[in-house]
Amino acid sequence: MALEIRPFDPAGAGERELVEYHTMRAAAVLVDWPEDPPLTYDSAIGRLQAPPLEDGVCRYWAGYLAGRLVGTAKLGLPDGSNAAVARVEVHVHPELRRQGIGTGLLRTVLGAVRESGRETVVGLPMKPEAAAASWAARHGFEVTQRMVMQALLVAATPARMWEVQVAAGYRLADWSGATPEELVDSYAVARQAIEDAPRGRSSFRATAWTAERVREADRELAGNGVEQRVVVAVEQSTGAVVGTHVVHLLPYRREFGFVYDTSVVAAHRGHGLGRAMKAAMMRHLTVERPELSRVLTSTAAVNTHMISVNHTLGYETVRMMELVEARTADLEKRLADGRA
């Protein structure tokens, strides 16, 4: 059977294509992430139709065998500090891998990457022992950072682990949705402190936070139906936000919480503010979102301090992951030479 690749519109796709997409992705999750819960239809289609905002403008292609959707490729074109980076996801039904479907999809996407002028292609995080990792290596992708994925299972975690007091001289504040205007300036500064987090050799940069970017992100998240929950540490003597902890609750996966980031301004580190904010978040969420079953967070593998802090709150390590990337020109040359 000949592989047919054509543009794919998640918003305009018919029910059959969406069911086939979910079937393909659910089968892949079962093989690639067996430690995770099964991927539901709502979760798969929700993320497909409302991708993460940091992906920027997205384009999609699908691969078909005898009219059946068996693989997809996504191209994300972020802006701002990541305007030279293209984010690429390639997925293939596990029963049909090693038949050139993923390579065909990658070749198609690279044409659009070239047109965009992006110099670097960044792939999805993947487990080092996964089939995706060997596939990426064959195509010339290199590991740029190693991450640890941790999960907090709410029902299995004693609530006493979240009884953490904030250090003297600070208080905690929290909100859902838009950032309070009286805090937005110092909140942007505190969020920018995430730039200090280890990022290895990755070309992908964290969002450059300014007050206006905070307001813009608040509007974008609300427009996508994402509930943004925030706990901050405020210095009592100045009233300035000096630490932030942000969790996103997605409309299509209400039983999960996703830690977006946790940051503390350098001058205020060493007081346990990160742990205090994370604990307060769990106290709030378990009361206000009783359907929440787990919270997920990822941390650079070299950031052993934050990994240990998470353990004290009930997080358990689920898996190690690798971030990969390659120069666009190198990928094209490798494919043209037939070395992939």
Domains of the chain in start order, with CATH, are 3-118 (3.40.630.30), 150-322 (3.40.630.30)
Q: Is the pLDDT of residue 307 over 90?
A: yes
State the sign of the Cα–Cα–Cα–Cα dihedral 21, 226, 184, 270: negative
Q: Is the pLDDT of residue 340 over 80?
A: no
Sheet holding 227-235, edge to edge: 3-7, 57-65, 68-77, 85-92, 120-122, 316-327, 142-153, 294-300, 256-264, 241-249, 227-235, 170-176
Measure Cα distances from 311 to 151, 155, 162, 275 in Å.
10, 16, 11, 10
At residue 48's C-alpha, the angle toward residues 146 and 327, to 5°, is 45
pLDDT for position 32: 94
pLDDT for position 100: 95
| Residue 229 CB-density burial (10 A; 0-12 exposed, 13-18 middle, 19+ buried) | buried
pLDDT tens per residue, range 4-62: 999 999 999 999 999 999 999 999 999 999 999 999 999 999 999 999 999 999 999 99
pLDDT tens per residue, range 216-225: 999 999 999 9
pLDDT for position 201: 93
pLDDT for position 338: 76
Predicted TM-score (pTM) of this structure: 0.94
Q: What percent of the chain has pLDDT over 90?
A: 94
Average pLDDT over residues 156-182: 98
